[in-house]
């Protein structure tokens, strides 16, 4: 029997998508809020970026530069890149979606890891393709598992490096091994949203692989270390043929003029970005150590956030900890939708927020299991 067609029907796969849920945040009882749920930088944006944003206010009747020329030139100068291979987007999320739209068809498969960024699944399903989940090892992407999931239908592999929400990463040698094992017609997309924070000698964001390959793309964002999350600004470094494809299907003015201006200024203010990274280098290990002393396991992280594991066997549930913290104006991220119901993700905050969060977690753990 033919299904009723009383309303327009979306393409197959769309209704399988669970909408992305952003981190929450609202004022506590004393009017203060400490939003540690979205991995935003506690230092805000560069004053130079803010001024550049404001400078565009009297020219809003004009369309932005559709080619993002000045920003691409600034990125090329900063990283030593061929600007013709840079594509800018309305956040890196847009670019991830465009890559899926361009290279996936119904019947194709795309791979991501168990606790990979939820946007990958959304992008794959929206393109009408089939998501394939590769198991992780100790909350870290497993190259052998990813390669073991490859079939003749595999067209795309999404890899967050470092990964959100776990904070783990693959060293460059493992990235090279992954790439070497993939078919030539499968696109490896390295999502390096947190690259600015990583200070490991064996880490490389993906520029080298893109420069020497025809099937690797690296995406980056201005939402984290640069503090421009509210403007939605990202970029991709691609092989020339991939850049050509993405430029054909992206919106002709997909990045706003204020975002472009702020992005250029943020890149130039290297001292501010270095301060943001230095803040993270100071507080990430402190938080990890102090929270670990409370009986809460912490996954080692190279990003600007921590994955906290609550001892469910003792009755101290992550959901109860979340409610306890919210009462004190502290918002962390619940992770049931990532398959981590016993965990909370905590962004590195200001000095005040970090101390308050540790004190609140200590009080929660000392209160004992919730009964009733």
Choose the final residue of a domain: 268, 301, 316: 268
Residues 254, 218 share a domain: yes
How confident is the model over 175-223, as pLDDT tens digits?
999 999 999 999 999 999 999 999 999 999 999 999 999 999 999 999 9
Residues 226, 89 share a domain: yes
3-state secondary structure the chain: CCCCCCCCCCCCCHHHCCCCCCCCCCCCCCCCCEECCCCCCCCCCCHHHHHHHHHCHHHCCCCCCCCCHHHHHHHHHHHCCCHHHEEEECCHHHHHHHHHHHHCCCCCEEEEECCCCHHHHHHHHHCCCEEEEECEECCEECHHHHHHCCCCCEEEEEEECCCCCCCCCCCHHHHHHHHHHCCCCCEEEEECCCHHHCCCCCCCCCHHHHHHCCCEEEEEECCCCCCCHHHCCEEEECCHHHHHHHHHHCCCCCCCHHHHHHHHHHHHCHHHHHHHHHHHHHHHHHHHHHHHCCCCEEECCCCCEEEEECCHHHCCCHHHHHHHHHCCCEECEECHHHCCCCEEEEECCCHHHHHHHHHHHHHHHHHCCCCC
Residues 157, 56 share a domain: yes
Residues 277, 243 share a domain: no
**Per the structure, how many domains does the chain have?**
2
pLDDT-derived band of residue 311, with 50, 70 and 90 as boundaries?
A: confident
pLDDT for the residue numbered 372: 34
Q: Is residue 15 part of a domain?
A: no
Residues 241, 153 share a domain: yes
Assess whether pLDDT exceeds 80 at residue 317. Answer: yes
Assess whether pLDDT exceeds 70 at residue 79. Answer: yes
Q: Is residue 160 part of a domain?
A: yes
Q: Is residue 56 part of a domain?
A: yes
How confident is the model over 328-357, as pLDDT tens digits?
999 999 999 999 999 999 999 999 999 999
Q: Is residue 292 part of a domain?
A: yes
How confident is the model over 98-143, as pLDDT tens digits?
999 999 999 999 999 999 999 999 999 999 999 999 999 999 999 9
Residues 208, 126 share a domain: yes
Residues 38, 76 share a domain: no
CATH code, 111: 3.40.640.10
Residues 257, 162 share a domain: yes
Q: Is residue 302 part of a domain?
A: yes
Residues 246, 178 share a domain: yes
CATH code, 306: 3.90.1150.10
| Owning domain of residue 343 | 23-44+271-367
Q: What is the C-alpha R_g of the chain?
A: 21
Choose the final residue of a domain: 239, 268, 297: 268
């Amino acid at each position: 029997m033919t299904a009723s067609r009383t309303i327009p029907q979306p393409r197959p796969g769309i209704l399988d998508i669970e909408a992305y849920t952003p981190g929450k945040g609202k004022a506590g009882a004393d009017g203060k809020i400490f939003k540690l749920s979205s991995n935003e930088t506690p230092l805000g944006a560069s004053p130079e970026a803010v001024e550049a944003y404001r400078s565009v206010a009297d020219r809003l009747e004009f369309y932005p530069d559709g080619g993002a020329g000045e920003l691409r030139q600034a990125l090329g100068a900063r990283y030593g890149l061929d600007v013709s291979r840079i594509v800018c987007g309305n956040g890196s999320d847009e670019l991830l979606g465009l890559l899926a739209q361009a290279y996936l068809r119904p019947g194709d498969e795309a791979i991501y890891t168990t606790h990979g960024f939820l946007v990958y699944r959304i992008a794959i399903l929206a393109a009408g393709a089939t998501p394939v989940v590769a198991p992780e090892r100790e909350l870290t992407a497993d190259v052998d598992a990813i390669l073991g999931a490859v079939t003749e239908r595999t067209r795309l592999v999404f890899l967050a490096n470092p990964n959100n929400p776990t904070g783990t990463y693959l060293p460059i040698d493992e990235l090279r091994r992954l790439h070497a094992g993939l078919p030539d017609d499968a696109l490896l997309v390295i999502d390096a949203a947190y690259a600015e924070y990583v200070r490991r000698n064996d880490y490389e964001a993906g520029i080298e692989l893109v420069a020497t390959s025809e099937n690797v793309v690296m995406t980056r964002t201005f939402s984290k270390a640069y503090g421009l999350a509210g403007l939605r600004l990202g970029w991709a470094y691609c092989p020339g043929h991939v850049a050509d494809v993405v430029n054909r299907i992206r919106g002709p003015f997909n990045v706003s003029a204020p975002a472009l201006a702020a992005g250029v200024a943020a890149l130039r203010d290297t001292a501010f970005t270095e301060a943001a990274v230095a803040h993270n280098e100071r507080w990430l290990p402190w938080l990890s150590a102090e929270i670990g002393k409370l009986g809460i396991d912490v996954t080692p992280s190279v990003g600007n956030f921590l994955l906290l594991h609550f001892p469910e066997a003792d009755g101290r549930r992550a959901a109860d900890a979340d409610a306890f913290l919210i009462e004190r104006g502290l918002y962390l991220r619940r992770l049931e939708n990532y398959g981590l119901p016993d965990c909370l993700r905590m962004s590195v905050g200001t000095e005040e927020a970090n101390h308050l969060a540790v004190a609140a977690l200590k009080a929660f753990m000392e209160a004992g299991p919730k009964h009733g």
